[in-house]
Every structure is written in structure tokens, then in C-alpha cells.
Amino acid sequence: MNRNQPSRHRILGRLVSPAVRQAVIEDFEEQRQYLAEREGRLAAAGWYWFQVAGLAGERLRSAFTASPGMLANYLRVAVRSLRKNKVHSLLNVIGLTTGLATFILIALYVQFELSFDRYHAQADRIYRVVRDEYCFSPPPLGPRVRDQFPAVASAARVMRDSDVLVSRGDRHIIEQELYWADPAVLDIFTIPFRQGDPRRALATPDALVLSESTARKYFGGENPLGQSLTLFDRQKFVVTGVFADMPANSHLHMGMMAPLDTWFRSTGSDSAAWSSNYVYTYLLLRPDADPQAVQDGFLDMEKEVMTGLGADVPPGYERTYGIQPITEIHLHSHRQQEVSPNNDMAYILLISAIAVLVLLIACVNYMNLATARSLPRSREVGLRKVVGARRGQLVAQFLGESVTIILLALGLSLVVAWLALPWFNTLVERELRFDPTANPLLFGGILLVSLLTGLLAGIYPAFFLSGFRPAAVLNRTFTGGSRPASRTRNILVLAQFAVTIVLISSTFVVRDQLHFMRQADLGYSQEQIVVLPIRDRAIRQNLDSIRTELLRRTDITAVALSDSLPNSITNFTRRDWTGKSEGEPVPIYYNTTGYDFVDLFDIEVVRGRNFSREFPADAAGAFLVNETAVRTAGWDDPLEREFVHWRGDRGKIVGVVKDFHFQSLHQPIAPLYIFLDPGTASHLSVKIRSTDVSATLAAIEKEFRRFSPNWPFEYTFFDETFARAYQDEQRLETVFGVFAGLAVVIAALGLFGLAVFSAEQRSREMGIRKVLGASPVGIALLLSREFLAWVLVANVIAWPAAWFLMDRWLDAYAYRVEPGAAPFAASALLAVVIAALTVSVQALRAAMANPVDSLRRQ
Amino acid sequence: MRLLSRKEEMILLAVWKGQGQAYGVSIRAYIERMTGQKWLFGAIYNPLGRLVEMGLVEQVESEPLPEPGGRRRNLYRLTEAGKQEMIKVRTLNEAMWADVPALESDR
């Protein structure tokens, strides 16, 4: 064992009296090694630094409390110096307030995002079954896994049903959050019951469990237990329980629960069919279980199942189900069929980085302004030293000042954050609450971060200023800033502006991409189309009559039926359709439509023809395919080729449509077929000619009401649904824009402070120059030049960083802009203009000053 | 000369009780036992350092511990001034407690 390791314990050694230093170091070293052997190096290091930090805190406290009179004095001097330099203090406080307020809001948001699904008491043992990029699993999987896997304690399946008509008496409401669920879901998830018995709530076939707010919606103040509700206008259910609303940080939001078995029975679905995937399966593992064991078990299970179904298991078959922890769903799962839209860890990291950067910029400001003020402060330091102040006391005094400022800024930033929270909530689409008592950890953390910011910002100036030699500073010729100090300042300004420019140019690139996506020719028209969801069977049975009635009006030019709309075709089949036997089958997306879909949406038919009522054979089965499908299959002539729908319906390919973007621009265009089958439509699209839109809508509603009096009438304009598709990008643009703006403000504040300092410091020089005949403009330029040069250099550093970042971001899009020079040039220009404006105000003032004033002081 | 702080007093006591054998771990253990509180690992060293600086406590190295390559321990013991200080502390404490009226908890 090495007894003496002074270099390793330099910080520790400084914290204790030299009289016992060696003994302390030895004791710490012994304890650290003891821990390292028993708990591991990391735990030992953690322990060590925790102890050192604690000692530092104690040391600081005793420095203040050893002489309470001095503490009061530090405070008094801090307040005095703040009041004496109002401009500087104001710049500092504004900068730090902005930085901290940003940090507080983002911290609230990030904490909320990280907390998703952790409220379950057994959160670390709950997993969801997934497969490749999909979340659904087949119904028999859950029970089989529960019975055969020793690591699995319990399994529950839930199936979401949206657009469900729920009626109580003659009140009809469409519910989006009905879940058909296994009773075990109440054991696995933490769902506290307000009324009823969770153990028996889903035991009867007609049981219905409501969330508190759903219960209130239907029953107001009445006791809902034992009351009944009717689903789909025909099935009666009895309320057996009321549970507390699921928290906002849950990926599932159940409004109603009913037994899954009832659904199987009433729809005649085969709960043993492995071929169709439509339930979410959640597993509760045993406390000591290894998730990998479950993962491995899936492959065997699947081979058994395939053999049982009479299918061959190809050699080397590896693809199978997987599990993901429930706590990772919100930030790490980017699959199709997610219950609710998820966030992305990359986004969380990005926004956290922005928060820290903005705070750092504010810190840098403080450092710059504090060192820049060294000239007036140096006299104070010198005098204090002459009358006997020790360096440690001076350091404590300057740190005290920065902590005072930061506490002031913290108070203000809490107010600002509280005021800005409603706006921020709309921006991030959350309902964050500002409640220190409910969230002591976060607010304690914010206090800690503030103090650390204060120390970080104060420590450089503190050591810099306290290091002056009294004999030098009290001499009249002392001019403050030494060369290394001003170089540090310039580098800090450079860093600030580099960060700012990265933010600005990123904003421009995001905006470009957004613009590109909005303007892109998607291959179908979006305007003047009203979309009506078809929910009621009565509507579906009378579509012909409704269509004929609607087309009779002059303000309606076309009516089309389709299962999916052209902007979101997500159904696909993996059936081998290309006729190529080698390799994995390529998935092909599909849409089922009526005759007029392609025409109404102006989708171009490049070969062959559209579906037509004039060809009676079409009704028996007809297909359109897109160009990508033709290319993928390698067909020379797709027309008249035999094709098969996933259900087994056969028909001929009658035409080829031009490729259109049937998903967001993130995805490349994939193979697609359109099958003529008006019967399975779930959307009715109506093309209108806008003379009096509300009259047209009223007419359509009247037509619907004829057949479906109970269901609420709902419609959307197609171009509106389309605008919603790029919400994420729009939000990112706003977030970047706002934070870039803040960074600009803070950086400009700092620059302004420096300009003031520089002008003050060189006032005599400028006075002499003026007397010797320099023009005011020349002087202003002279003063501004230095700063502008640094801002320009900042650009050079920022560009590659921004380009790299944005290139990575754009990689997520199959169709993207190439970030050209424009965004970077624009942000450079913006930064330079802002810097020039900031600096020149001060420079001009200095240039216009009467030289007599500055020279008289000699 | 200023009065010792409570911490310093306790440490001085611990060193005396150790009768020449007191070292970091034993002092810490004594204080934790008496106060019932968990102290920071290094927290005893600042008061201890002050005692050493004041010349009340001195530091000596022990014989090597009886194990192969055994290290020497840093032992602490009272100096003559330290003993004087202990006597002063005791006198003061006794004087303060001498005329306290009977103290019974009402609970």
C-alpha cells in the first residue's frame, strides 16, 4: 500500500488543518480502499467525493460563522457593490434570471418525462411484449407465457377500443378510451380503487369499471356502483368499480375497462388464434427473475407453436417476440401501434443540453462582467489587504457577492417560471405543475444548481480579484485587466456566441425542413375535402343511398369511400406477393377503397385505368398498385396480372398509380396496393366547392342523421388533419427558436457589459485620439472591431457543429432538405448584427463624449 | 484564550479517554456513540486540527501494527497544556452545574 499519495488528495488536503493533514489523508485512503474492496471502486469514489464535498461545505460554513460580524459585513458589502453598479447588477440579474428560469422549466419537463410509468408499485418488474417494430401480440400468447414460463408471475392482455358509443338513457357519448382487459391487469398495474372491490371488479362478463372522471361524466354526484351503461347501442354493462384517474405520466390512459373475454365472445373472435396480433400483453416477472430468460423462452415457444400449426420452422429462425420494461416505453419505444404518442430520449437529452448551455452562457456573463469590473474593485481589494484581510476572506466575500446575486436571480426566476408555465405547457403539451411542496427533490435540486452556478460563476473572479498585489493596485497607474484575463474574457465571449449561433442556425434548418414538408408535392390534393368517420353500422349499410343523395347537391362534387386516408396508410401484410421465393418477403401496404378514391384525391394513374363501374368485372375483385410495388416486384407489365388481397380475395391489377407519400416524410415510399372494396370503408370523404361551407356541412349532417340519429356527428377538414401530422417538428422549431432567442439576449447582455467596460477603461486613450483629430465614427469602429472579430471567429467554430447536429437530425427523414449555406449565413449575419448593435451603442457614446471630461481626471 | 467549542471539548475528552491510544477511528466511534449521530467521515479533523494548532493535543506515530508490512497509526495524546485545559473545562462545567435547581422532566 502506498502511504503517501498527496497528489490524489490535493483537494482533501486543502480542506483540513495542516496539523493533521497527513493523518486525514491516510484515514481517508484506508477507508476508501476498504470500500473499494467491498463495494467496488465506483461506490468508493462516490463515498469519497461525497465526504469531501461535505467537508468543503462545513469549511465554508465555519468560515462564515466563525465570525458572525464578518458575515454581516460581507453581505453589506455585497449589497453595496450591487447598488453602486446598477447597470452591471441589472445585466447580471437579468442574465442569470433568464438562464435559471429556462433551467427550471426544462427541469420540470424533463423530470416529468423521465417519471413515466414509474408510479406502479411493481414498475421494475412489469414488461410489455413486443415484436420487431410492433407492439401488438396475438391473444393466446399471454396465457401461454403465464402458464409455461417460470419467470413470469402474471400476464394481462388489454385491447383498446376507440370510437365506442356509450349511452345512459338518451345521453350518447363517444368514448375513445375503452379497454377490454384481463382481470389480472388490476394486480399488475397500480390502479387504486375508489369504489368497488378490485379483486372481483372484472369477474362477471357484464362488468364495467370506470375511471373517476368517466364516472362523473355519466353519473355526476350519484353512486355509479350497480348502475348500467349501454355500449354500441346493444350491450348492457353494470358498473362494478371506480378507479382513480390514471396519472398524466402514464403511457396508458384507461377511461373504462371491461372483461376481454366478453369481447371475444360477443365479436366471435378466436382467442386462440396465433395469426392475428391486436392485444397489448403485459407481464409481471417474479422478483428475482432474469428478463433474458423470458426472452430466450420466446423462441422455443414460437417454434412449438409453428410446429403445432403445421408450419415448417426454417433453419436459423431467429426472429421472435421480445419484452421491454414498462418504464422504457415512453422514451425508448418507437414502434408502430403505440398506445399514445411517445417521446424520444434524444429529444430529452437535446433539451437538457440546451438548458445547461443557456445556464452556462449566463454564468459566463457573470464571470466576464465581474472580471471586467476589476479596475474599480481592485482598489477595494488592495485596501482590504492593507488593513489585514486574508486572501481566504476576500474569496469568501466575492463568493458571497455572487451567491447573493444568484439568490436574487433565483427568486426572480421562480416567479418568471411560474408566470411562463402556462405558455410552456402549451408548447410542450403537458400539464406540468409548479408546486415545490409536492416536489421537494426537484426544487431542492434547483436550489443546489443555483448555488453551484453562483459558486461556478463567482469562483474565477473571486480568485482573480483576490490575487491582486496591494502595492500594485494601489498605484495610480494600475489599469486592471491583465492580458491573460482579457484573453479569457474574449474566449468566453467566443464560446457564448458559438453556442448562440449553433442554436440560431439549428432553428433555421428545422424551419427549412418544416417548410419543405409543407410545400412538398405529396401526390394527392388536400384542399376542400371534408372527412367523416363511419362508425355506425346503419351508415355503412346505407352508403349507396347517402352517396347518391349527397351528389345531387351542386356544392358537392365527389364522394369517396376508403378504409385509410391517403396521408396515413399504415396497414400492411407480409404475405409473399412478389413471387420471388428467395429472401424475406417485402411487406406491402394496402388500402381498401370505393371507386372514386383515386379521383377525389387527384392521385394520378400512370398506366392502365382507375376502378370503374363500367367494368363489371371490377366488382368481383380489382387492384391498383403503386410504382414502387411494380419496381420491387420487377414486373415488366403489371396490368392484368393476378393479385391476392390479404384476406384471400382474388382479382386483376387494372392500373398503376403514381407514387404518393402515404405516410409522413420520415418514411420512404413503400410498395402499396389498393383493393376495391367499398364495404369495409371507415372514412367517407366529400369534396366540396366552397360557397357556403356551413350550409354544405349542415346538409351532410342531415343526411347522416337520417340513418344514425344517436351517434354524434363528427367531421374534420382533411388539410387540418394533415397540418397536425408535423406537430413534432413545429414544436421543435418553436423550442429552438425560443431558446436561441434567450441565448441571444443573454449573450448580448454580456457583450453590452463588456463594451461598457472597454469604453470606460479606454476613455483616456479615446480622449487623446479625439484631441488629435480622430472622428467619432473612427473611434466607434475602433471600439467595436475587437468584439466583432471574436463573433466572426465564433461563427467559424459554430458552423461545423451546427451542420453536424442538423445533418444527424435530418437523417430521420427519408425526404429532407440539404442544409445549404443559407441558414448558416443568415445566423452569422444575425449574430453579427446583434453584436454590432449591442456594442455600437456603447461605442458611439464613448466616441461622442467630450474628451475634456475624460482627460481632466489625469 | 477563547473557550473551546462543544465539538472540540468532546474530542479533547475522547483523546484523554484513549490514554495515548486514541486515533481517528476510535475518536469518531466515541463521538458517534456519545451523540448518537452519524458524523461525516472527516468531520472530526477540523476541530482536532485546531486542537493540535492550539498545542493542546499532539500527534505521535505508533509502533507498526502487528501484521506483515503493518502501517504505523497516527495516535493523539494530550499535551501538558491540554491537560490544563481539560481541568479548566471540568472546573467550568462543575461550577455551572453546581447550583442548578433539581431538574426533573415533567413528562
Domain harbouring B19, CATH code: 1.10.10.10
B105 assigned to some structural domain: no
Domain span at B19: 6-64+71-92
Helix (H) or strand (E) holding B77: strand B74-78
A441 touches chain B (CB under 8 A): no
* A27/B24 CB distance under 8 A: yes
CA A111/CA A105 separation, integer angstroms:
10
At residue A405 the predicted structure's pLDDT band, cuts being 50, 70 and 90, is: confident
CA pair distance A115, A110, nearest whole angstrom: 9
Q: Which residue has the higher pLDDT, A483 or B21?
A: B21
Q: Could you report the per-residue pLDDT of B74-102, keeping only the tens digit for each?
A: 888 888 988 888 898 888 888 888 888 87
Asked, for residue B33, whether it belongs to a domain, the answer is yes
Chain A residues near residue B24 by CB distance under 8 angstroms: 23-24, 27
**Tally of domains within chain B:** 1
B77 near A CB under 8 A: no
According to DSSP, residue A141 is labeled H
Is A51 near chain B, with CB under 8 Å? yes
pLDDT attached to residue A317:
63
> Between chains, do B74 and A26 touch, taking CB under 8 Å as contact?
yes
Residue with cell 497544556: B81
> 3-class SS at A575?
coil
SS3 content of chain A, % helix, strand, coil (to 5): 55, 15, 30
At A245, list the grid cell: 384517474
Residue A3: pLDDT band by 50, 70, 90 thresholds?
Answer: very low
Calculate mean pLDDT across residues A335-339.
78
Confidence of residue A5 (pLDDT cuts 50, 70, 90): low
Q: Is B5 on the interface with A (CB under 8 A)?
A: no
CA count, 13 A, side-chain hemisphere, A734:
12
Q: Which residues of B touch A58 (CB under 8 A)?
A: 40, 43, 46
CB A563 within 8 A of CB A674: no
Percent residues over pLDDT 90 in chain A: 25
Q: What is the ipTM of this complex?
A: 0.77
Residue A373 in this model has a pLDDT that exceeds 80:
no
Interface with chain A: mutation pick from B2, B45, B52, B57, highest number of A CBs within 10 Å? B45
Which residues on chain A are in Cβ contact (under 8 Å) with B53? Answer: 17, 19
Local confidence band at A156 (pLDDT 50, 70, 90 cut-offs): very high
* Facing residue for A17 by CB, picked from B25, B41, B52: B52
pLDDT of A334 > 90? The answer is: no
For residue B11, list chain A residues with Cβ-Cβ distance below 8 A. Answer: none
Give, in order, the Cα–Cα distances in Å from A796 to each of A377, A497, A501, A799, A802.
35, 11, 10, 6, 11
In a domain, B99, yes or no: no
Residue-range domain boundaries for chain A = 1-61, 67-115+347-481, 133-318, 493-516+726-856, 529-722
Determine the Cα–Cα distance for residues A400 and A651; give it in Å rounded to an integer. 83
Chosen for mutation from A17, A20, A34, A47 (greatest number of chain B CBs closer than 10 Å) is A20
The least confident of A66-80, A416-430, A817-831 is A66-80
What number of residues does chain A have? 858
Q: Is the pLDDT of residue A129 over 50?
A: yes
Query: What count of other Cβ atoms lies within 10 Å of the Cβ of residue A772?
Result: 8
By the CB < 8 Å criterion, does A326 face chain B? no
Q: Any idea which of A286-290, A461-465, A597-601 has the lowest mean pLDDT?
A: A461-465
Share of chain B above pLDDT 90, in %: 0
Tell me which of A67-71, A589-593, A629-633 is least confident: A67-71
pLDDT higher than 80, residue A158: yes
Could you give the CA distance from residue B11 to residue B5 in angstroms, rounded to a whole number?
A: 10
Q: Is the pLDDT of residue A243 over 80?
A: yes
Rounded to whole angstroms, how far apart are CA atoms A513 and A498? 23
Q: How does residue A2 score in pLDDT terms, banded at 50, 70 and 90?
A: very low
- Average pLDDT score, chain A: 84
CB contact under 8 A, A16 and B40: no
Cell representation of residue A347: 429529444
What is the structure's pLDDT at A667? 82
Torsion of CA A702, A704, A705, A708, to 10 degrees: 180
H helices of A581-692, where? 597-600, 616-619, 627-633
Q: Which residue of A has its CA nearest to B75?
A: A23
Nearest C-alpha in A relative to B40: A51
Considering the domain boundaries, does residue B49 fall inside one?
yes
Bridge partners of A672, per DSSP, are: A589
Instruction: Look at phi and psi of residue A290 and say left if phi exceeds 0, alpha if psi is from -120 to 50, else beta.
Output: beta
User: Closest partner residue to B40 among A17, A27, A51, by Cβ?
Assistant: A51
Residues 1-20 in A contacting B (C-alpha not used; CB under 8 Å): 1, 3, 12, 15-20
In a domain, B14, yes or no: yes
Question: If you average pLDDT over residues A203-223, what whole number do you get?
Answer: 92
On chain A, the residues whose CB falls within 8 A of the CB of B25 are 27
B106 within a domain of the structure (yes/no): no
Nearest residue of A to residue B41, measured between CA atoms:
A51
Determine contact, residues A165/A233, Cβ cutoff 8 Å.
yes
Q: Indicate the DSSP class of residue A19.
A: G
- At residue B70 the predicted structure's pLDDT band, cuts being 50, 70 and 90, is low
CB contact under 8 A, A16 and B49: yes
> How confident is residue A68, by pLDDT bands cut at 50, 70 and 90?
low
Contact A24 B45 (CB under 8 A): yes
Q: What confidence tens digit (pLDDT) does each residue in A295-318 have? A: 888 888 888 887 877 766 666 666
Interchain CB distance below 8 Å, B42 and A55: yes
**Per-residue cell: A203:** 369477474
